[in-house]
Amino acid sequence: MELGGKVAIVTGAGAGIGRAYALALAAAGAKVVAIARTLGLGRNGEAANGGLAEVVRAGSGLPGRIYAQVCDVGDEAALVRTIDEAGANFGRIDILANNAAIMDAHDTFDITGEAWDAMMRVNVRAPYLAIRQAAPFMMRQRSGSIINITARGGDFLARDDPAHHRLLPYGVSKAALNRLSHFMAEELRPHGIAVNALSPGVVLTRPSAAGFAGAKPATPEILGPALIFLARQSAETLTGKILHTDEFGKSWGAADED
């Protein structure tokens, strides 16, 4: 499907990967509901570096439009209300990018129950709730694309892999997100809705990422094409896949495909 005039929701859109996705979708002509915990205004009331206000400002000259929506996806009532209001305000939801996530490092045998629950609440439960609320709009349309942003840490990794070190609950949460993606792909296939998971790879969203080999900047030009390709899919064209941005245009999503 072409994205001009389509309605997209991106969680965790205030900075980094989510910011890149929101701008890429707006560049493709979509109306983007960008969700983050804070608006990101400076003391003078202007958009600060980072935050939803800056994302809206950055997207002001694009074909589509970005709408800032403050919401903590870990708050079930707030997330349900935000998705429902987006669907009601626009009359449809075409794309859902579940990007918001917590990535905290912990020693393997020193993880508190509170830290574990927080990771699962944001990384697994929130995507499920967002899908649950967005799916009825897509089902009525008999079209839509859901993209869950996963990570390589959700796969089996050797102990010396940097994505393994101190990231047990994060890896478990991403493995669960992959399973959720597979399950929902089959659940929503009869309604024409695509559900895929996309791993952006190692991205420079903060200085600490600079030590990872192959880290790439979180820009719409670098991260956007793979997401845009998936946003255009349906259950008939591509669904139920766990895909990696580094392989886009190689093993999947050839550059000449629409």
Instruction: Name the amino acid, one letter, at 136.
Output: P
8, 62, 221 from 5: Cα distances, Å: 9, 12, 21
Active site residue: 174, 216, 241, 250, which one?
174
For the chain, first and last CA: distance in Å?
Answer: 8
Question: Using CA atoms, how far apart are residues 111 and 176, in angstroms rounded to an integer?
Answer: 18
Q: Which positions ≥6 away from 239 have C-beta within 8 Å? A: 185, 188, 189, 193, 194, 195, 196, 233
31 bridge partner residues: 7, 65
Can you tell me the distance from the alpha carbon of 127 to that of 226, in angstroms, rounded to the nearest whole number? 20
Instruction: Judge whether 250 counts as a catalytic residue.
Output: no
The one catalytic residue in 128, 170, 216, 250 is 170
Strand 65-70 with 95-98, pairing: unpaired
Residue type, 107: D
The amino acid that residue 197 corresponds to is A
- Annotated active-site positions, please? 170, 174
